[in-house]
Structure formats: C-alpha cells, structure tokens
C-alpha cells in the first residue's frame, strides 16, 4: 500500500498493534511527551506528526520550528514555554504544573520538545512529576541534534579505526575537574557538546589542560537541520576564537574528534564531483 505524506499523518494504526504503548491515539487527561526532531518538519517522525495533530493543548519549546507547529489544529491551545541561554525563561516547576493542570482538565496534552525528550530534554523529569500526581504520560522519540547535525554535515559520529563511541555532553554546565576531561579523552570517543558555544573557551582550556592534541578537529553546527544551517570549523586550540565569530543566535552543537576531518574530506570530494559534473554539462 502506497500512502502520501498527508495520508501517513492521518492514517490510524489503532488495531494494528494491541499494545497501547505504541498507539498513535492521544487519550484525554494524559500527556504525550514528543520529540520534534532536529530542525524542519521533514525530520519529524510520522508518529509524532499524528500525535501533534490530535492535541487539545500543546506545550512547546523554543527549538520547535514554525512548520511543525502548522500541524496543530486551529482549536488547540498553544502554550509557549521556551528556554534560551541568557534569556528570561519558564522555570521547570512551572512547566510541570502547567502540564498537570491541562491534563486534569481532561485535555489531550502534547509536550513538544526539540530533538528527543530523553537527550537533555528533561522529559523524564516531567513524566515523573506527572506520575507522582496520578497522571499518565508516554514518550514519542525524536531525532536528537547530535544525529541530525551529523547527518546534515556528513560528519560520521563513529568511524572504523577512528571513533568507536560517542559521548553526548551538556555544554551549559559541566565539571571542570581534570579527571572529568581526562575521562572524556580516555574514552577515545567523539565528543558532542549540546548548547556549548558560550562555553567554547572553557571546553578548549579543559581539553588542552589534559594534553588533548591542539589540532584535534572541531565543528560548530548552528541551526542544524534548517535552511540557514551554518558550519564553522576549528580545532581545540582555536575553537574559542572561532566561536566568537558565530554571530547567529540559533542553537549551536559542537562536534570534537577526528571524525570532523572525515566529514571535511567527504565534503571536499563531493564538491569536486559536483564541479566536474557541472563542467561536463556546460561543455556538452
């Protein structure tokens, strides 16, 4: 059976699986905590799109794009609770209380978060609060920024002989103790810092202090997965200076490791292929 995108979004899977765990049907008085993915509408899962379109009340973050919000019905209540670094924002306790209030009102509530609810998304915190207050919540996964940004830039997070693991680190708060940085390096893992642009100087200093190679490649991906995506390359010794050149206020992810060089090599090769193809077209 072949379905269009709109048919997929509206296609009911109820009955195809007896388990409520995988149902795409919202239940009044419950909360679905949904990952909006990394960037635009086409990076949203089909299940997430179905769930969003059924909401009576939507509680959403700053990183949710406007085209995803277009899935919401005109009758749905919208509650913006975005948090941005250095700007006034909602307290987590207030968000928790709002979710509970809406659910107790018998609404079909969707808590919509950028990326995935379980990757620096506080989804579990909200679910625990709701459960402690007698309310049911469920999760719908999303494409987290590390995966979305890596794919959109051609940077592999793992690569045979180079990186066998990936470490996801919050860039807003982290332990500056040398043991922390040594542990990150010892893992021989690709490092991915979420929301770390403002901490680039501290990250650089921490890594260099435990003998990280100064020329270890770094990539800053700003507005990952969106039309205005910006990629800025550096290394551990220059990343603080390069971070200051990024004037866009959009979310920035940092990837550190030799895999960045792999991505750069791929980009250069693809550029050569494109240039050759274009020349062949021009020359007939």
Residues with catalytic roles: 61, 83
Contact, 250 vs 223, CB < 8 A?
yes
Nearest to 197 by CA among 227, 175, 219, 178: 219
CA distance to 24, 54, 136, 139, per residue, from 15 (Å) = 11, 18, 21, 20
Write the burial class of residue 24 (CB in 10 Å: 0-12 exposed, 13-18 middle, 19+ buried). buried
The alpha-helical segments, DSSP class H, found in 11-91 are 46-53, 66-69
**Helices (H), strands (E): how many in the chain?**
10, 10
Find the helix or strand (DSSP H, E) in which 168 lies. strand 166-170
Instruction: Find tokens 């929301």 and name the residue.
Output: 195
What is d(CA 252, CA 246) in angstroms, rounded to the nearest whole number?
9
Q: Could you tell me if residue 225 is left (phi over 0), alpha (psi between -120 and 50 degrees) or otherwise beta?
A: left
Task: Give the phi and the psi of residue 110 in degrees, each rounded to 5.
Answer: -120, 125
Query: How does strand 252-256 pair with strand 190-194?
Result: antiparallel
3-state secondary structure of 38: coil
């Amino acid at each position: 059976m072949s379905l269009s995108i709109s048919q997929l979004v509206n296609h009911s899977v109820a009955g195809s699986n007896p388990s409520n765990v995988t149902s795409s049907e919202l239940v009044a008085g419950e909360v679905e905590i949904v990952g909006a993915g990394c960037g635009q509408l086409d990076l949203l899962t089909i299940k997430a799109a179905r769930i969003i379109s059924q909401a009576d009340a939507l509680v959403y973050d700053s990183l949710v794009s406007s085209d995803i919000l277009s899935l919401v019905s005109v009758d749905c209540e919208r509650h913006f609770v975005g948090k941005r670094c250095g700007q006034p924002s909602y307290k987590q306790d207030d968000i928790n209380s709002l979710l509970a209030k809406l659910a107790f009102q018998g609404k079909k509530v969707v808590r919509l978060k950028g990326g995935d609810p379980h990757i620096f998304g506080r989804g579990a915190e909200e679910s625990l609060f709701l459960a402690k207050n007698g309310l049911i919540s469920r999760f719908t996964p999303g494409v987290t920024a590390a995966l979305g940004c890596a794919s959109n830039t051609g940077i592999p997070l793992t690569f045979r002989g180079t990186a066998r693991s990936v470490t996801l680190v919050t860039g807003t708060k982290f332990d500056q103790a040398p043991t922390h940085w040594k542990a990150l390096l010892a893992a021989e893992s690709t490092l991915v810092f979420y929301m770390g642009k403002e901490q680039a100087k501290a990250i650089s200093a921490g890594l260099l202090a435990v003998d990280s190679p100064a020329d270890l490649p770094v990539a800053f991906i700003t507005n990952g997965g969106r039309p205005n995506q910006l990629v800025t390359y550096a290394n551990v010794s220059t990343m603080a200076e390069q971070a200051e050149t990024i004037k866009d206020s959009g979310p920035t992810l940092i990837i550190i490791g030799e895999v960045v060089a792999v991505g750069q090599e791929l980009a250069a090769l693809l550029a050569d292929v494109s240039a050759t193809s274009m020349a062949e077209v021009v020359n007939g």
